């Protein structure tokens, strides 16, 4: 029995990885220095895992940006617009991730049901397959000097079906097979014995129709590299078609025992006695101690009843979804810290489980916190606003008198160094509360003026007082705790510090009212009140596991409803309740999705269902596959939906040809996650494309997400171009009437 790991957090406790990336992007270090620093961080990560006692350390999980991007780059899947005189340069690599002056970035989507975003590979018609370099081999050769390790690579099936522009699984597999085989052969030649092949897409329903291609892929691998052990790794759910899949000619399987019905599958169908079982017993996605008694029961079941050829104990998935270590987190509520396990603590749990035959280890395991069964969720009635959308929109237009194609932003405006410095000074006590609030008011006033000068029709106060859209509300509601260095990667260098929901969520008084009122006093144009929705707060927090998600979401919604009422009573008539993580909690199995959609919709509606008809409710969503969820999104009953539509190449826009969305909507007309500033002509084309499928009287114009991460110059110029494009289209619409 061995201890193993699937992947290690990249961000670092002090965000060393993030700082290195951003310094390179700002040209504050050379490419040589950047590569040297990244190589050092990679070696540190390997050493930390080996020092924790992990027998088999992953090599290949470390990346400069994203593993899917790495795989595409390695296999020469580089879109023509990102190629340069030196197509394998870091310039081309980061152009795919972030865009450039001449090329928009590749799409970015959520990695299954997590808050991690991957870069979507693009297949072009003239794609020339080639193994540009062997990244798993390079990482393996570096890592094996310090630890016994296994190369890690994204599997061909998962890579293909998560890509875009690929019209045939079989044709794509035929192109990639020689590249994977070359990669595997080189690994074997350099001493690799076991390779982890990540195939999380094997958990999706509907896999049966692809089984013939999957078998042809892995039979080809078995024939080409018969002496190399391939371990197929799945996670986030139980694999579909389990009994058939486990007949694949591979040496082992990695299974997630923390999600789905994996245990029942093994009890019903068994497990091949000649294969390795890498058992994900420790949950790699939460931050709570493992239930020791349950883990021991499972371990004994695997050893004595399943009896695989070899048993590897590991986290259920890569640990990139949790912070690096709980060490030093001494500012938490009493009794909470001992119940937490971040990445390093989870590796300690893995090692302790491997030594469970030892009496001391067994006693230690039994002392780990045990959680009771979740309590029943609320049996609440379905909530709806009293008036229909058509009734509400007529009343709202009388109040707001907005022009055709109203212009707005999503909410957050650039968080400059000065904003962050003042926030830190206030937290450190070096400036007073009055000084900090004066600064925030001055910044708000400055940006209200900027928005008016640019011609925005609906303004925002800018959210300069907020560190993070979820953390900010958690700090102002009861029931949340906060770590000091609990950083988790969201995308690229973007890190978040999820709150911990450890107690009942309660509203303790107005959170956003005063600053929103101040912003509204500066202009005659409407200013939106800005809240984060209950489902997003839940999905972007580490919530306690002895309560159903539905119950926690409901309690958050009740607290937010009081905040909505406080804004409405103060005279704010536009309130945006953001739900960018709404789809994130959607179960991977279609058979489980209806229940989630029902309670998630109801939680959102519970936050505002009893506002006046004249109060206009907005929501915002981004970076997930929303096409198949549009009927559910419509049920949320927001008056205005703003949704990302620019980064995915227009797929969502095309969806509206088939689905008649019956409320107001703003399809984001440019990608804010790229430093690239789109031209007026480019945004005009996007607007006209949107108007081919949506009526002008219900169409809003906005960026695809908040502008927090952009510089002031980038934000202002992009908004200026957006406003000019909107005015051009407005004039053309007038001429056609």
Q: Please check the confidence at residue 87 and state whether its pLDDT lies above 80.
A: no
Tell me how far apart the alpha carbons of residues 204 and 585 are, in angstroms, rounded to a whole number.
15
- B/e letters for 121-158, b = 16+ CB within 10 Å, e = fewer, are bbbeeebeeebeebbbbebbbbbbebbebbbbbbbbbb
Q: Using the 8-state DSSP alphabet, how is residue 665 labeled?
A: E
Q: Which residues define the annotated binding site for L-homocysteine?
A: 410-412, 578
- Residue 399 has a pLDDT of 95
pTM as predicted? 0.90
The domain 2-367 having CATH identifier 3.20.20.210: the answer here is: yes
Chain centroid to CA 185: 34
pLDDT in tens, 344-374: 999 999 999 999 999 999 999 999 965 555 5
Q: Which residues define the annotated binding site?
A: 18, 115, 410-412, 463, 540, 578, 620, 622, 644, 705
The mean pLDDT value of the chain amounts to 93
- Residue 380 has a pLDDT of 57
Secondary structure E strands in 30-145: 57-59, 108-110, 117-119
- Residue 734 has a pLDDT of 86
Per-domain residue ranges of the chain: 2-367, 389-476+511-736
Taking CA atoms, 261 is separated from 242, 267, 268, 275, 526, in Å, by: 11, 10, 11, 20, 50
Taking CA atoms, 158 is separated from 73, 146, 172, 412, 597, in Å, by: 16, 30, 12, 34, 25
Task: Please compute the mean of the pLDDT values over residues 22-34 and round it to a whole number.
Answer: 96
Chain centroid to CA 401: 37
- Residue 668 has a pLDDT of 87
- Residue 622 has a pLDDT of 80
14: number of Cβ within 10 Å: 11
Per the annotation, the verdict on 618 as an active-site residue is no
One CATH from 3.20.20.10, 3.20.20.210, 3.40.50.720, 3.90.550.10 for 389-476+511-736? 3.20.20.210
Question: For 47-51, 102-106, 243-247, 669-673, which range has the lowest pLDDT when averaged over its residues?
Answer: 669-673
pLDDT in tens, 134-190: 999 999 999 998 999 999 999 999 999 999 999 899 999 999 999 999 999 999 999
Q: Which residues define the annotated binding site for L-methionine?
A: 410-412, 463, 578
**C-beta separation of 60 from 153 below 8 A:** yes
Residue 126's pLDDT band (boundaries 50, 70, 90)?
confident
Residue 643's pLDDT band (boundaries 50, 70, 90)?
confident
Q: Please check the confidence at residue 19 and state whether its pLDDT lies above 60.
A: yes
Query: 667 vs 251, which has greater pLDDT?
Result: 251
Q: Which residues contact 729 (CB under 8 A, 6 or more apart)?
A: 405, 684, 687, 688, 691
**C-beta separation of 279 from 257 below 8 A:** yes
Q: Which residues define the annotated binding site for Zn(2+)?
A: 620, 622, 644, 705
- Residue 375 has a pLDDT of 58
Share of residues in the chain with pLDDT > 70 (%): 97
Q: Please check the confidence at residue 609 and state whether its pLDDT lies above 70.
A: yes
Catalytic residue, chosen from 55, 212, 673, 689, is 673
Structure tokens at 307: 């009896």
Q: Please check the confidence at residue 685 and state whether its pLDDT lies above 60.
A: yes
Report residue 314: phi and psi, to 5°. -160, 170
Q: Which residues define the annotated binding site for 5-methyltetrahydropteroyltri-L-glutamate?
A: 18, 115, 540
- Residue 654 has a pLDDT of 76
Q: Please give the order of strands across the beta sheet that includes 574-578.
A: 529-532, 574-578, 616-621, 640-643, 664-667, 699-700
């Amino acid at each position: 029995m061995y201890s193993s790991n699937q992947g290690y957090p990249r961000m670092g406790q002090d965000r060393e990885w993030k700082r290195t990336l951003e310094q390179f992007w700002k040209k504050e270090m050379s490419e040589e220095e950047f590569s040297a620093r990244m190589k050092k961080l990679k070696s540190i990560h390997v050493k930390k895992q080996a020092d924790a006692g992990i027998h088999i350390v992953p090599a290949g999980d470390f990346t400069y940006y994203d593993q899917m991007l790495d795989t595409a780059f390695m296999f020469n899947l580089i879109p023509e617009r990102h190629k340069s005189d030196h197509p394998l340069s870091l310039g081309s690599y980061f152009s795919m991730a972030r865009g450039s002056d001449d090329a928009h970035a590749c799409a970015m989507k959520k990695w299954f049901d997590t808050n991690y975003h991957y870069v979507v590979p693009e297949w072009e018609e003239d794609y020339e397959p080639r193994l540009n370099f062997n990244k798993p081999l390079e990482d393996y050769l570096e890592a094996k000097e310090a630890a016994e390790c296994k190369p890690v690579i994204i599997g061909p099936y998962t890579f293909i079906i998560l890509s875009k522009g690929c019209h045939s699984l079989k044709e794509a597999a035929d192109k990639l097979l020689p590249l994977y085989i070359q990669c595997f052969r080189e690994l074997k030649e350099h001493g690799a014995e076991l390779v982890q092949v990540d195939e999380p897409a094997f958990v999706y329903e509907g896999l049966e129709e692809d089984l013939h291609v999957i078998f042809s892929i892995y039979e080809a691998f078995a024939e080409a590299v018969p002496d190399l052990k391939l371990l197929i790794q799945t996670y986030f759910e139980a694999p579909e078609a389990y009994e058939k899949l486990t007949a694949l000619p591979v040496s082992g399987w990695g299974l997630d025992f923390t999600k789905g019905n994996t245990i029942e599958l093994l009890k019903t169908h068994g497990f091949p006695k000649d294969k390795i079982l890498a058992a994900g017993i420790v949950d790699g996605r939460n931050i709570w101690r493992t239930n020791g008694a349950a883990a021991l029961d499972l371990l004994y079941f695997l050893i004595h009843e399943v009896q695989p050829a070899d048993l590897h104990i590991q986290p259920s998935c890569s640990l990139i979804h949790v912070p690096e270590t709980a060490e030093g987190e001494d500012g938490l509520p009493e009794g909470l810290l001992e119940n937490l396990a971040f990445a390093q603590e989870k590796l300690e749990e893995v090692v302790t489980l491997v030594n469970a035959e030892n009496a001391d280890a067994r006693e230690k395991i039994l002392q780990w916190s045990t959680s009771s069964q979740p309590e029943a969720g609320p049996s609440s009635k379905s909530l709806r606003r009293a008036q229909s959308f058509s009734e509400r929109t007529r009343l709202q237009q009388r109040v707001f008198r907005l022009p055709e194609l109203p212009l707005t932003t999503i909410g957050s405006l650039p968080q400059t160094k000065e904003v962050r410095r003042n926030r830190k000074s206030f937290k450190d006590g070096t400036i007073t509360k009055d000084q900090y609030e004066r600064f925030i008011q001055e910044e708000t006033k400055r940006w209200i003026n900027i928005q008016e000068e640019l011609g925005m029709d609906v303004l925002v106060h800018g959210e300069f007082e907020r560190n993070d859209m979820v953390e900010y509300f958690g700090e102002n509601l009861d029931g949340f705790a906060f770590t000091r260095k609990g950083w988790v990667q969201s995308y690229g260098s973007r890190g978040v510090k999820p709150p911990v929901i450890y107690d009942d969520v309660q509203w303790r008084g107005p959170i956003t009212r005063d600053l929103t009122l101040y912003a509204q006093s500066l202009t005659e144009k409407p200013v939106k009140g800005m809240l984060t929705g209950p489902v997003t707060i839940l999905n972007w927090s580490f919530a306690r596991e002895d309560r159903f998600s539905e119950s926690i979401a409901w309690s958050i919604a009740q607290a937010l409803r009081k905040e909505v009422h406080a804004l409405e009573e103060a005279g704010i008539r536009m309130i945006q309740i953001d739900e960018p993580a709404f789809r994130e909690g959607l179960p991977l199995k279609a058979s489980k999705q209806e229940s989630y959609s029902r309670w998630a919709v109801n939680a959102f509606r519970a936050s505002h269902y009893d506002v006046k008809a004249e109060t206009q409710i907005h929501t915002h969503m981004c970076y997930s596959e929303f096409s198949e969820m549009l009927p559910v999104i419509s049920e949320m009953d927001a008056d205005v939906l703003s949704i990302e539509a620019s980064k995915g190449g227009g797929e969502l826009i095309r969806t509206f040809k088939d689905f008649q969305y019956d409320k107001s909507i703003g399809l984001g007309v440019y990608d804010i996650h790229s430093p690239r500033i789109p031209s007026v002509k480019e945004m005009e084309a996007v607007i006209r494309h949107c108007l081919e499928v949506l009526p002008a009287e219900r169409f809003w114009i906005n960026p695809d997400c908040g502008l927090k991460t952009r510089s002031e110059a980038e934000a202002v110029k992009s908004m200026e171009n957006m406003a000019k494009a909107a005015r051009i289209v407005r004039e053309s619409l007038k001429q056609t009437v």
